[in-house]
Chain A
Amino acid sequence: MPKTLYEKIWDAHVVDQRDDGTALIYIDRHLVHEVTSPQAFEGLRMAGRKVRRADLTLAVPDHNVPTTARVDVQGKPIPIADPDSAAQLAALERNAPEFGIRYIRATDREQGIVHVVGPEQGFTLPGTTLVCGDSHTAAHGALGALAFGIGTSEVEHVLATQTLLLKRSKSMEIRVEGALGPGVTPKDLVLHIIGTIGAAGGNGHVIEYRGSVFEEMSIEGRLTVSNMSIEAGARAGIIAPDEKTFAYLKGRPMVPQGADWDAAVAHWRMLRTDKGAVFDASITIDAADVEPTVTWGTSPEDVVPIGGIVPDPMSFADPSKQAAAQKSLDYMGLAPGMKMTDVPVEHVFIGSCTNSRIEDLRAAADIVRGRTKAGNVKSVLIVPGSGLVKYQAEREGLDRVFVEAGFEWREPGCSACLGMNPDKVPAGERCASTSNRNFVGRQGPGARTHLVSPAMAAAAAVTGRLTDIREL
């Protein structure tokens, strides 16, 4: 019986299959951060339980850490001003050694956003099951892992048992053939996909991205696409590992070495959907139909090509969508019919687990070189996804490009993607953001978010409005 890639990984991880369709699934890798883990460790402590496989667990703080300097001129750590954020970090710093878990400190060069750190360290491997108490864990599927976000009770369950009780999801194939046009990036593609299938379109499914566009795409680009699978409701996205994947992983700190590497690659080559395997749902998208894309509303499904206009709420067939669209436009301060390229922005954020890798920073820098921040733009934050990305960018001189343009070059972390640390967008102000969610209040109470690619964000920073990079 031909199997999909998802089915192959699932079947290889069944510890116990129950009659009711639930299976106990083994978890190969577990990433932990400071926000969704304290209550899980507390639960273990109260029940007198240990972490079953501390060696399969890696902890990194990212959500709360400020992106300003971490150490003073003497190299001493600067305390976090917000007492609640400091307490969450302190809890992780206490829990990790207490339970024997490897911990990357906020001041270590390897620190960064969990979903940047995992692939970068080679903690994420093809064919593994990987979980984290964070919905954007879907990102790791770009390397051929079955990776998905879990809640804190499940974090506790994995810590205690290295397993999860799950029901198999349905499978969805999203096939994109052809070639993306000039100025069209993986971010535009994934926004287009979410707009096509809707924010609930992938509920109950694991998406496998297939077709020539993904085969040609870099690992960084694949991470961007898979990362946002959750914004279409899919718990996971996955892309079959190939030579690009192996080349990306080879030599990374936590990947197998020597003969082990060869054995691993031989196994990983088999991780493909069989010919004739059947998906529960199949979507086909022509790459030529994808344009640089931007959101206008407060759901990631609210997308429009950059050359388009703010839609009229009444143009939606579904009455509940009409009402939602009107609410979104009120919140966003936009009127139907307005050209997207006429929308001014006060803030730009380039970062987040979606778009903070070296390739993203290079794309932004390519737009910015020789230009400066527009007068109406109050702040432009450039936040690398990890200390290693930051180091690499500085070696390439990208930091100077940004600083000379009047942007702020920051320390790694989740930053302005979510309103948990000092990086927030003020109420009523508008941000072109490379992050993943344009929800009401996501970037701070009252903040207005337009999701865009790194190149489009950089373009908005220098023109002061949403901009079609093909016309810059």
Chain B
Amino acid sequence: MKAISKVSGRAIPFGRKNVDTDIIIPARWLKTTTREGMGKGAFETVRREAGNVFDDPEYAGSPILIAGDNFGCGSSREHAAWALLDMGIAAVIASGFSDIFSSNAFKNGILTIELPQSAIDRLMEVSMTDPVDIDLDSQSVTTPFQDRFEFQIDPFRKHCLMNGLDEVGMTMAQDDAIATYEERLMLEKPWQQPVMR
């Protein structure tokens, strides 16, 4: 995973609330066995709307997406995160995220930033004309107009994102603790081992 510390550029002012994962990537794009190339299907239904922000040349290659509350609600498909990544999105700023989406985004090195709706409204306005800057180290989003919005992030996630750490490898290093747990489980709940017949 690539380490991430700063994201700067124009932000796509999408702004909608309850953006579900079927909107981010419709199911017909899920029939793959690899993680690549999903950007083509990203926001497919929105892109059929005339004048949509995703096809506005103004925002071509934008690394940031702005949305309203409950972004990424619905299915657990990690394809939503892969699709954003493939579009070149490195950070999503929203007034709220679904739990599964924000976890999936994190595992793919996408920064999810939760800010109050008033900050979202302001950033939407700025994004019409100017870029925004995200600094993960100082946990802030700033604009060329001296706006500064601080955000919260789980310290563990921050550490992993800033260092591009592989979580599976990190957990495998705790194999002893897992083995000890399993031994205890065998003693306390032997009946919980699956019956194989």
* Chain A residues at the B interface, C-beta cutoff of 8 Å: 15-16, 18, 20-22, 24, 26, 28-29, 35-36, 38-39, 42-43, 47, 49, 52, 55-56, 63-64, 82, 84-85, 87-88, 91, 102, 122-123, 125, 128, 133-135, 137, 149-154, 156-157, 160-163, 165, 167, 169, 199-200, 203-204, 230, 233, 235, 253-257, 260-261, 263-264, 267, 299, 320-321, 324, 418-420, 437, 439-442, 445
Bound-state Cα–Cα, A157 to B171, Å: 8
Most chain-A CB neighbours within 10 Å: which of B31, B77, B97, B107?
A: B31
Interface-central residue, A16, A28, A38, A152, by most chain B CB under 10 Å:
A152
Q: Which residue of A lies closest to B80 (CB)?
A: A151
In the complex, are the beta carbons of B35 and A151 less than 8 A apart? Answer: no
Residues on B lying within 8 angstroms of A by beta carbon are: 16-18, 20, 22-23, 26-28, 30-35, 45, 68-70, 73-78, 81, 96-100, 103-104, 107-108, 154-156, 167-169, 171-172, 174-175, 177-178, 181-182, 185, 189-197
| 18 A-B pairs (CB sep. < 8 Å) | A22-B156, A24-B174, A38-B34, A55-B196, A82-B31, A123-B194, A128-B192, A153-B78, A154-B103, A165-B167, A199-B70, A200-B18, A200-B69, A203-B97, A203-B98, A256-B192, A439-B22, A442-B22
* Cα separation A346 to B182 with both chains bound (whole Å): 53
Q: Pick the contact of B100: A26, A149, A160, A418 (CB < 8 A).
A: A149
A84 to B167, alpha carbons, bound, how many Å?
30
Residues of chain A within 8 A of B107, CB atoms compared: 151, 153-154
Q: Contact at B191–A56, with CB atoms within 8 Å?
A: no
Alpha-carbon gap, A1 to B81, bound state (A):
40
Are B195 and A165 interface neighbours, CB within 8 A?
A: no
Cα–Cα distance between A267 and B192 once the two chains are bound (Å): 11
Q: How far is the CB of B40 from chain A (nearest CB, A)?
A: 14
Say how far A437's CB is from chain B's closest CB, in angstroms. 6
| Contact partners of B18 in chain A: CB under 8 A | 199-200, 299, 324
Interface residue from A133, A135, A267 paired with B189 (Cβ < 8 Å): A267
Cβ of A162: which chain B residues have Cβ within 8 Å of it?
178, 182
Inter-subunit contact B195/A233 (CB<8 Å): no
Known: A199-B70, A200-B73. A157 touches B167 (CB 8 A): yes
A149 contact set on B, CB distance < 8 A: 75-76, 100
In angstroms, Cα B194 to Cα A122, docked, is 9
- CB B173 to nearest CB in A, in angstroms, measures 10
Q: Tell me the smallest distance from the CB of B112 to a CB of chain A, in Å.
A: 13
List, in ascending order, chain A residues with CB within 8 A of B30's CB: 35, 63, 420
Q: Whose C-beta in chain B lies nearest to the C-beta of A152? A: B78
Determine which of B22, B34, B171 lies in contact with A163 in the assembled complex, contact meaning CB atoms within 8 Å.
B171
Which residues does chain A contribute within 8 Å of B31, judged by CB atoms?
A: 35, 64, 82, 84-85, 87-88, 420
Q: Could you tell me the distance in whole angstroms from the C-beta of B73 to the nearest C-beta in chain A?
A: 6
CA separation between A123 and B194, bound complex, in Å? 7
Measured CA separation A361–B74 after assembly (Å): 26
Given contacts A20-B156, A24-B171, A123-B194, contact A199 B28 (CB under 8 A): no
Residue of A nearest to B169 (CB): A47
- Pick the contact of B197: A253, A441, A445 (CB < 8 A): A253
Min CB–CB distance B64 → chain A (angstroms) = 20
In the complex, chain B residues whose CB is within 8 Å of the CB of A263? 190-191
Contacts of A419 in B (CB 8 A): 26-28
B88 to chain A, nearest CB (A): 20
- Complex Cα–Cα for A235 and B32 (A): 25
The distance from the CB of A265 to the nearest CB of chain B, in whole angstroms, is 10
Chain A minimum-CB-distance residue to B101: A151
Give the Cβ gap from A16 to chain B, nearest Cβ, in Å. Answer: 5
Q: Which residues of chain A have C-beta atoms less than 8 A from B104's C-beta?
A: 151-154
B154 contacts which chain A residues (CB < 8 A)? 20-22, 167
CA distance A101 to B99 in the complex (A): 28
A299–B185 Cα gap in the complex (Å)? 42
Whether the Cβ atoms of A16 and B34 lie closer than 8 Å is no
What would 7 more interface pairs be, CB under 8 Å, given A133-B76, A419-B26? A28-B192, A42-B34, A151-B76, A199-B18, A254-B194, A260-B191, A420-B31
Cα–Cα distance between A55 and B193 once the two chains are bound (Å): 8
CA distance A282 to B174 in the complex (A): 37
Is the Cβ of A199 less than 8 Å from the Cβ of B156?
A: no
Using Cβ atoms and an 8 Å threshold, which residues of chain B touch A35?
Answer: 30-31, 77
Contact indicator B192/A125 (Cβ below 8 Å): yes
Do residues B20 and A47 form an inter-chain contact, with CB atoms below 8 A?
no
Interface pair B33/A200, CB less than 8 Å apart: no
Chain B hits for A82, CB < 8 A = 31
Partner of A320, one of B68, B155, B177, B194: B68
B190 nearest CB neighbor, chain A only: A260
State A42–B30 Cα separation when bound (angstroms).
16
Neighbouring A residues of B174 by C-beta, 8 Å? 15-16, 24, 161
